[in-house]
Amino acid sequence: MKGRLSMKRVFRCVGVLCILTAACAEAPPSADEARAFLDAAETRLLDAWISAGRASWIQNTYITEDTTAQAAEARTAVIGLTMALAADAARFDGVDLPDDLRRKLLRLKTSMGVAAPADPARQAELSAIAAGMEAAYGRGAYCSGGGGECLSLPQLERRLAEVRDTDELLDLWLGWRAVAPPMRDSYARFVELANIGARDLGFADLGELWRAGYDMPPDAFTAELERLWDQVRPLYESLHCHVRAGLADEYGSAIVPPDEAIPAHLLGNMWSQTWANVFDLVAPRRTDPGYDLTDLLEDADVGEIAMVRYGERFFNSLGFDPLPDTFWERSLFVQPADRDVVCHASAWNLDYGSDVRIKMCLEVNGGDFVTIHHELGHNYYQRAYRGQSPLYRDGANGGFHEGIGDTIALSMTPEYLVEVGLLDRAPPADRDIGRLLRLALDKVAFLPFGLLVDQWRWRVFSGDIPPESYNEGWWDLRTAYQGVSPPAPRSEADFDPGAKYHIPANVSYTRYFLAHILQFQFHRALCETAGHEGPLHRCSIFGSREAGRRLQAMLEPGASRPWPDVLELGTGRREMDATAILDYFAPLQAWLDEQNAGRSCGWEQG
């Protein structure tokens, strides 16, 4: 819809001579025109999102050259449409609009994890690079020399979790990282193209575009992340000190020196992002958790699909509707034997309505049992906000979406396991330290990694970390935030960030950091709603319809309101608050203080 024509006076200059002339110009568009534009844009975007989602689902669950090409073509179509609409939306930038329309225009600009240049050829190049990197990661494997077997990433992860021989651990750690160097040049070109697209939309770079989606100025959001990290840093440093001492007892101080960062291959996880797999090396004596969830599942003969049913049952107990039949018919639950798939767990909503699915290569273990609840949290969130406008069918912020399922997982207390028949009786309270330590090795240990991935990426996007310093910048941040160091010399011939899925797949990671903060804040508020009395870590909201109603009220708005408004619906507070983590782990903090007495904590940060 065109604006009205009006007359305005302009200066027309030829050389040094300027004369005042009358010219015909368009009047600023109206709010009604903006509304009509957005309505049409949302219709077109929804169709494109659904087409791209279906192509991406096929490519993720059946990796071939053809499916990869089709996914890239569909992604290109979404990028091209979004960029064209965002460019067209710029005509409303100076128009006085209602908050709802202004919010939609911003979400239009930030609706994708990547912005592309206006040039169609560059858009196609960007899409091809993105699809190619994700496919290369999905096909990645480590084949040891001398005719040894080739190991997929899930197999490598299992070995790394179980092995205690340092030479083999190093071989596994280095073996997976060989998948990344071929992506390095592609990633540098991806950054270059994505930054051009972000600047076309009025942002300094892609990182600023990402941060702009958090209902506060980008610099203020960066400061907010540091504020939250400062709240939990003392607990993390206490945990780091205790774990380092336990690893030194196992491997010797020559391999794990005091006062230094922990070598990354010794923490039981391919990226050292969670440490629960070294629990046996750092657990308190005579204070084990009293049970092992993996053993409980195996003893009860719980299969992969049955684990998903447990997750559905939890949400049903809160008053949520059962999952649709199509969920069970169309999801990918186990790794196929006949084709390559992307095993990384993810939740999907193929039609942005009722066609929700999960994709993962499930195994019967405690970790995947928790992951199922996490992914179902995405699906139930997607169902809750499906009545919103398309641009609002998303979480209040990225951390909300990631945090919902993990909030449910915090309710998997011993009492809950007894209630659902997996555990005969809950262990006494004096066993809680072991359970809290195991959970802290998962949740608390993750926090600095969850923060630094995007810290690295934002500095790459801004140019503070140039391509010739990718690896150096990565390890500088890992040492500073995590107190983790590379176990072997690394150089710029390596591309260690690319060995983490979310880098080649261009998936924002700050959402995971925020999710780990918010899940405890959500849990504390929902436990209060459920009338829980006693330690926070012993609370389960299973079966509480009151907690379910409060949770539903927080999910239904989607992204239609600023996240502080939505946070207030769920917690009664408008500010993210990490003190709930300190409340939850208070008994563990006291125990860690006792263990660390006389130890030298901290590490050299370079």
Compute and round to an integer the Cα radius of gyration of the chain: 25
Q: What angle do CA 53, 359, 336 make, to 5 degrees?
A: 115
- 202 touches 302 (CB < 8 A): no
Residue type, 391: L
544-569: burial string, b at 16+ Cβ within 10 Å, e else: beebbebbbebbbbbbbbbbeebbeb
Q: What is the DSSP string of 509-536?
A: SHHHHHHHHHHHHHHHHHHHHTT--S-G
Q: How far apart are CA 382 and CA 556, in angstroms?
A: 9
Q: Which of 240, 344, 373, 516 is catalytic?
A: 344
Q: Which of 374, 516, 523, 537 is catalytic?
A: 374
- 499 touches 474 (CB < 8 A): no
Residue 516 appears among annotated catalytic residues: no
Q: Which of 384, 512, 516, 530 is catalytic?
A: 512
CA atoms within 13 Å, Cβ hemisphere of 518: 32
Dihedral of the CA atoms 416, 421, 427, 428 (nearest 10)?
Answer: 60
Residue 224 appears among annotated catalytic residues: no
What's the first-to-final CA gap in the chain, in angstroms? 59
Pairing of strands 484-485, 262-263: parallel
Residue 373 appears among annotated catalytic residues: no
Q: Which of 34, 71, 375, 440 is catalytic?
A: 375
Residue 537 appears among annotated catalytic residues: no
- 382 touches 325 (CB < 8 A): no
Residue 134 appears among annotated catalytic residues: no
Q: Which of 136, 204, 502, 568 is catalytic?
A: 502
Closest among 113, 187, 159 to 466, alpha carbons compared:
187
Q: Which of 124, 128, 345, 586 is catalytic?
A: 345
Q: Which of 402, 409, 525, 530 is catalytic?
A: 402
- 331 touches 361 (CB < 8 A): no
| Local structure of 73: helix, strand or coil | helix
Q: How far apart are CA 215 and CA 199, in angstroms?
A: 20
Pairing of strands 346-349, 356-359: antiparallel
Residue 502 appears among annotated catalytic residues: yes
Q: Which of 378, 401, 523, 537 is catalytic?
A: 378
Closest among 233, 243, 293 to 266, alpha carbons compared:
243
Q: How far apart are CA 387 and CA 383, in angstroms?
A: 8
| Local structure of 369: helix, strand or coil | helix
Residues serving a catalytic function are 344-345, 374-375, 378, 402, 502, 512
